[in-house]
Amino acid sequence: MPTAMFFLWQRAICYFNYVHFSCHSKTKCPHK
């Protein structure tokens, strides 16, 4: 379960960074 939570957390952070820091999103979210 912790792994799934971590995955969801990573995804949430990725989305958050993409929305607030689109220029830095590439560092946090390489797939976008």
Residue 29: per-residue pLDDT:
52
Task: Report yes or no on whether pTM surpasses 0.85.
Answer: no
Residues 2, 24: Cα–Cα separation, whole Å? 27
Residue 29 has φ and ψ, to the nearest 5°, of -130, 85
CA distance 24 to 32: 11
State pLDDT tens for residues 1-32.
678 888 888 888 878 877 766 655 455 555 54
CB 14 within 8 A of CB 29: yes
Question: Got the DSSP string for 1-32?
Answer: -HHHHHHHHHHHHHHHHHHH-TTTHHHH-TT-
Question: How much is the pLDDT for 5?
Answer: 87
